[in-house]
Amino acid sequence: MHPTAKDIAVYGASGHTGQFVVQEARRLGLPVVAIGRSLAQLDAAFPSGVARRVAMLDDPASLEQAFAGCAVVINCAGPFLDTAAPVAQAALRAGCHYIDVTAEQPSAQATFADFDAPAREAGRVAIPAAGFYGGLADLLAGALASEGDIDEITVAIALDHWWPTAGTRRTGERNQVPRVVVKGGRLEPLVPSPEVPDWSFSPPLGHQPMVELPFSEIITMAHHLKAGTIRSLINRAALADIRDASTPPPTAVDECGRSAQRFELQVRLAQGSATKTASVRGRDIYAVTAPIVIQAALRLRSPSYLHSGALALAEAVDPVELLRALHGRAFEVSGDA
C-alpha cells in the first residue's frame, strides 16, 4: 500500500449490498472506487462523480490493477466461495487490506486458513464476514467477553421479513456445505435440535419461535473466542420467507434505498458466574452492512493501524469503540456491551 493511499475499493459495487457500501463511503466524503465485472452495470448504478473500474475474477492482473492506489478492498460480490480467494489474493498483492461480507461458513474458514500468512507477509489484514452476518455478532460477543474461557455464546436473530436479493438466492444454491457449530470447544457439524426454545425480542418483533441455523458468525467468533458452545438461532418466519421461492426481493421505501425490514440481533454470553446480553436493532440487513464495513475500513486505512494477518472483525478493531461509533447512526445498541 502506498503510504498516501486512501481510496476504498468496493468489488461487486453494482450489486445490492455493494451499492449501499459505495453510497455510505460517499456520504462520509471518503474516496471510493466502484469496481465490477460490467461497465454498463457500474454506469447504471453510479453517477459520473464515482470512479469506476472493470476487473474480472479470472484475470488476476485486472483485479490487481483495479485495486492499485487503494488502501482497502471491500468485497461485496458473492457467492464468496467463488470470489473471496481471487479478490483477496489481488488485494494483498496490490498492498491493500481485504474485507468481505460473506455469510458462508466455508468461505470464512478458507480465508482464515489460507490468507493469514500472506496477509502477515504483506503487513495487511484479511477480514472475512464483516457484515450483518458474521461481523455484527462478532462485535457484540467481543464487547461482552472478558479474559478467560467462555462457557456458551448464543446468537439469536429475528427478522420481520426476509426479502432475499438475487445474490442471496445464488449463494444459497451454491453453498451446499454442511453447517457447523461449536460444541465442546470444537467446530462440529450441526445436528438440528427438534426443541429450540422460543426467544423474546423487543417490540415489534416480540416473542418468536426459533430454529437453529448458523451463519458465518460461528466461524468468526470461534476464530478468537475460546468458548465451549457457540450456536445461532433465527426466527422461523424469516426462514420460511427465504425458503419460499415466491418471496420477492427487497423494495426501497426511503431515500437511502432501504427496505422496510426490521431486525434484531441478540448475543447472550455466559462466562463463569456472569451472563451478559447485548442486542442491536435496526432496518434492512443488507443496508446495515455498509456502515459496519466502511467504519472498519476507516480504521484500517489509518497510518497508525498496526495489525496484520487473517482476523475476525472484533480482533481487527476495538469492538466497543466501533459499536459506539455505529450506535444511533446505523442501529441501536442496548444491553451489556
Q: How confident is the model at residue 278 (pLDDT cuts 50, 70, 90)?
A: very high
> For 138-284, which CATH superfamily applies?
Dihydrodipicolinate Reductase; domain 2 (3.30.360.10)
pLDDT given for residue 2 in this prediction: 46
Instruction: Round to whole Å and give the CA distance between 188 and 180.
Output: 5
The mean pLDDT of 315-330, rounded to a whole number, is 96
Global model pTM greater than 0.75: yes
Residue 154 has pLDDT above 70, yes or no: yes
Q: How confident is the model at residue 337 (pLDDT cuts 50, 70, 90)?
A: confident
The mean pLDDT of 76-103, rounded to a whole number, is 97
The residue assigned the cell 457449530 is: 181
Strands, sheet with 70-75, edge to edge from the N-terminal-most edge strand: 51-54, 32-36, 7-11, 70-75, 97-100, 125-127, 309-310
The mean pLDDT of 19-41, rounded to a whole number, is 97
pLDDT given for residue 194 in this prediction: 78
Q: How confident is the model at residue 31 (pLDDT cuts 50, 70, 90)?
A: very high
- Please state the domain extents for the chain: 7-131+289-322, 138-284
Contacts with 64 (C-beta within 8 Å, 6 or more apart), sequence order:
90, 93, 94
Q: How confident is the model at residue 264 (pLDDT cuts 50, 70, 90)?
A: very high
Q: How confident is the model at residue 48 (pLDDT cuts 50, 70, 90)?
A: confident
The better pLDDT of the pair 177, 100 is held by 100
Average pLDDT for the chain: 95
pLDDT given for residue 5 in this prediction: 67
User: Which CATH entry fits the domain spanning 7-131+289-322: 1.20.120.1760, 3.40.50.720, 3.40.50.850, 3.10.450.50?
Assistant: 3.40.50.720
Instruction: Round to whole Å and give the CA distance between 273 and 286.
Output: 36
Residue 175 has pLDDT above 90, yes or no: no
The angle subtended at Cα 73 by Cα 71 and Cα 75, nearest 5°, is 170
Instruction: Round to whole Å and give the CA distance between 165 and 163.
Output: 7
The mean pLDDT of 305-328, rounded to a whole number, is 97
| Residues above pLDDT 70, as percent of the chain | 99
pLDDT in tens, 110-137: 999 999 999 999 999 999 999 999 999 9
